[in-house]
């Protein structure tokens, strides 16, 4: 007798009573009817959904460009390290320039140019004020009043080449004795004149303190980072409105 074809085999099984089914089929049916089986299936589906929801989504980083300036000894490199999220250790005076990449929430990838502040290098500052420079961070040693006039002159030389570019003045070294506050520094630098042509604000900072805590939780550093992000967002919104 020739063996049954697969088709006949299936037909025969379909016609069998429930009690004469293959033992494996009866076991599978009991498993699917068991509440424990459905609970296990629901748990697996729930866990997969949780993993999918908690999975870190890729960030669409938006490029931005800023320049950090100030006369020598003001603490520019230390401040750039803080903004980048690194410790503000002692640095050698910048003889040329450094470029750092700081990631700022929610999605800004900031190219932060740190230019040397010696008198010889200042004459080259304007070469880095390209059309895509979105803001200037100008750092001042708030505990060195004997150099305030020098800092004011250096700032004034930037105003024409950097027409309408927003400026954030950082009153650094607030941890030192004799450091002036933000309002007094604004008066000395005559920022009321600067504000006639652009946005210009002053914030206090102590890079030495952030050396022990180089993250955005430090109030002074957080205020600076928030200012930068707010200005970039404002420019982004203005560009979107024009488009």
pLDDT tens readout for residues 130-149: 999 999 999 999 999 999 99
Total-model pTM:
0.75
Give the pLDDT score at 232.
Answer: 97
3-state secondary structure of 65: strand
Going by C-alpha positions, the residue among 134, 100, 97 that lies closest to residue 118 is 97
* Rounded CA separation 209/127 (Å): 33
Give the pLDDT score at 13.
Answer: 45
- 162: phi then psi, degrees, rounded to nearest 5: -100, 55
- Cβ density class 189-202: b for 16+ within 10 Å, e for less: bebeebeeeeebbb
Average pLDDT, the chain: 82
Instruction: Judge whether residue 39 has pLDDT over 90.
Output: no
With bands split at pLDDT 50, 70 and 90, how would you rate the model's confidence at 90? low
Residues 120-133 have a mean pLDDT of: 92
CA distance to 3, 55, 94, 102, 208, per residue, from 58 (Å): 59, 9, 35, 17, 34
Is there a contact between 148 and 50 (Cβ–Cβ < 8 Å)? no
* Rounded CA separation 78/210 (Å): 9
Instruction: Judge whether residue 88 has pLDDT over 70.
Output: no
Q: How confident is the model over 180-232, as pLDDT tens digits?
A: 999 999 999 999 999 999 999 999 999 887 766 655 558 999 999 999 999 99
* Rounded CA separation 60/107 (Å): 6
Number of helices (H) and strands (E) in the chain: give both, helices first: 10, 6
Give the pLDDT score at 178.
Answer: 94
State the CB neighbour count (10 A cutoff) for residue 130. Answer: 10
Residues 25-35 have a mean pLDDT of: 57
User: Which of the 8 DSSP states describes residue 218?
Assistant: S
3-state secondary structure of 99: strand
Give the pLDDT score at 101.
Answer: 92
Percent of the chain topping pLDDT 70: 74
CA end-to-end span of the chain: 83
């Amino acid at each position: 007798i020739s063996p049954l074809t697969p088709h006949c085999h299936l037909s025969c099984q379909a016609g069998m009573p429930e009690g004469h089914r293959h033992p494996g089929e009866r076991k599978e049916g009991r498993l699917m009817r068991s509440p424990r089986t459905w609970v296990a299936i629901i748990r697996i589906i729930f866990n997969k959904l949780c993993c999918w929801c908690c999975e870190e989504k890729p960030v669409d980083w938006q490029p931005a460009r800023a320049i950090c300036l100030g006369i020598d000894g003001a603490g520019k490199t230390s401040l750039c390290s803080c903004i980048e999220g690194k410790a503000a250790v002692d640095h050698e005076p910048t003889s040329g320039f450094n470029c750092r990449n700081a990631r700022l929430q929610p999605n800004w990838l900031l190219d932060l140019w740190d230019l040397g502040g010696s008198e010889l290098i200042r004459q080259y500052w304007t070469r880095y004020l390209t059309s895509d420079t979105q803001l200037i961070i100008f750092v001042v040693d708030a505990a060195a009043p004997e150099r305030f006039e020098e800092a004011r002159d250096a700032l004034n030389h930037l105003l024409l080449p950097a027409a309408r570019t927003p400026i954030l003045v950082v009153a650094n070294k607030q941890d030192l004795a004799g450091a002036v506050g933000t309002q007094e520094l604004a008066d000395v630098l005559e920022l009321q004149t600067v504000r006639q042509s652009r946005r210009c604000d002053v914030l206090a900072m102590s890079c030495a303190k952030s050396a022990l805590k180089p993250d955005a939780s430090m109030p002074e550093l957080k205020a600076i980072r928030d200012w930068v992000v707010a200005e970039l967002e404002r420019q982004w919104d203005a560009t979107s409105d024009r488009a």
